[in-house]
Amino acid sequence: MNRRQFLQSTGAAALYHGYAAAFADDKPLRVGLIGSGWYGKSDIFRLNQIAPIEIVSLCDVDQRNLDLAAQWAEQKQPSKKRPRLYKDYREMLKEKDLDIVEVATPDHWHALPMIAACQSGVDLYIQKPISVDVAEGQAMLAAARKHGRVVQVGTQRRSTPHLIEARNDIVKSGKLGKVGLVEIWSYSRGRGGMKPPPDEPVPAALDYEFWTGPAPMAPYNRMRTAAWRAFMEYGNGTIGDMGIHMLDMVRWFLDLGWPKRISSSGGIRINTAFGNIPDTQTAVFEFDDLTMVWQHRNWGLPPDPKYPWAATLYGDGGTLKAGVFAYDFTPAGAGSQPVHKDVEYELEKYPEDKTEPRLEKHVAPAIRGHWANLLEARKNRSKPVADIEQGFISTSCCILANMSLKLGRTLTWDAAAGKCVGDDEANRLLRRSYRGPWVHPEAGRV
């Protein structure tokens, strides 16, 4: 399909705006999605808005997700073709006919499909956190580098327009000065008071054995699969879900690498009826000359309703508070004016965003920007803004914080060696046990 055919396709003309101008002359990309639930579909449609693509393959262990995603793809993509459907990502990747694959499964299923996709020769967009244990992340980074793949991680704060402005105009310009302390947080109602329904038979449409994969087998409960983030067996808790975004954003703002020491405390204080993740947690990340403190509380009210999920950077030149909806800079010196900027929604530019079910409208511009950055990196065979190595560092920081909480002590991290200093017990936690027949990936065998 050439540019003219693409623009003449049903509905395609409406998509030829914004970032699309940079990619409309490109040959349509053949795209696959592993994990065809709500967020995966949302991501792929943002790509569909900015570049000519063909959604060729969809994969999910739940036939209901597959059917809905296939209907959605037929409606959204210009060709109106129905994608091929798979329940096993390995069968999908055997076709060897894809350019880009997104992995949007639950977290415990990120590592194996991502590595297999690298081996099959495609570039990737993978949701965060990239892994559930550190050794998985090491193997994923090794696979991307060995096979020369461009991998963008879904830490899309790095592509959020107002946050790019904050980084460039406030941090990099020097207005903030030297930063010595950063606070990052998430305060939400979470699932307080939620009680799961009784266990029940597995629905016929769901391959629950495959859904569980390398995680421990548990009785089927529809809330377990619907709200899997509430269980440490499938993810990294709230810090791995929400904390990674703010931690990664600050690392990007300040060009930070690995912390030297990580400590954490907390537990389940209020939400005792559902799940097993900490509903209250504090973590401290100590860098060379900066301390970053994370706190989440999945109950009660946020201290600042305007910033329930955000970061504050304290510099000797002022204070920057930044979140997904806005940023505020308050200068320290007299005579300087505060700066406020709200999120850009782009609803007039992309009117389909107004009616898409469940779309996080404030995040849509960031997802489009993240895809555009990945497409440019593919052309140049360069690292995207949220390269897999950056995702590995931010993910591992959250995992190490959970390890510190579990062990009840501070961990000293040796980034070069990829292990905790003088702590054999902690190092054993860097690699979780896999349920057979699935085999834990190793960095040296990818």
* pLDDT higher than threshold 60 for residue 62: yes
* pLDDT higher than threshold 70 for residue 249: yes
Report the pLDDT value the prediction gives residue 1, as an integer from 0 to 100: 41
Cβ contact 318:330 at 8 Å: yes
Q: Which residues lie across from 41 on neighbouring strands?
A: none
3-state SS, residue 243 = helix
- Can you say whether residue 381 is alpha, beta or left, with left for phi > 0 and alpha for psi between -120 and 50 degrees? left
* pLDDT higher than threshold 70 for residue 402: yes
3-state SS, residue 365 = helix
* pLDDT higher than threshold 50 for residue 18: no
Alpha carbons 89 and 170: distance in angstroms, whole number? 44
- Over residues 273-294, mean pLDDT: 96
State the pLDDT confidence band at 337, using cuts at 50, 70 and 90. Answer: very high
Alpha carbons 408 and 13: distance in angstroms, whole number? 58
Average pLDDT, the chain: 94
Report the pLDDT value the prediction gives residue 43, as an integer from 0 to 100: 98
Report the pLDDT value the prediction gives residue 17, as an integer from 0 to 100: 37
- Show the domains of the chain with their CATH numbers: 3-157 (3.40.50.720), 162-349+393-428 (3.30.360.10)
* pLDDT higher than threshold 80 for residue 14: no
Each residue of 16-32: b (16+ CB within 10 Å) or e?
Answer: bebbbeebbeeebbbbb
Q: What are the angstrom distances between the C-alpha of 69 and each of 57, 351, 443?
A: 10, 21, 33
Q: What are the angstrom distances between the C-alpha of 209 and each of 13, 107, 128, 146, 425?
A: 43, 16, 23, 31, 31
Alpha carbons 112 and 134: distance in angstroms, whole number? 14
Report the pLDDT value the prediction gives residue 192, as an integer from 0 to 100: 58
Report the pLDDT value the prediction gives residue 12, as an integer from 0 to 100: 37
- Over residues 314-335, mean pLDDT: 95
Q: What is the pTM of this model?
A: 0.94
Cβ contact 143:115 at 8 Å: yes
pLDDT in tens, 77-124: 989 999 999 999 999 999 999 999 999 999 999 999 999 999 999 999
pLDDT in tens, 21-50: 778 888 999 999 999 999 999 999 999 999
Radius of gyration of the chain (CA): 22
According to the 3-state scheme, what is the secondary structure of 47-74?
HHHHCCEEEEEEECCEHHHHHHHHHHHH
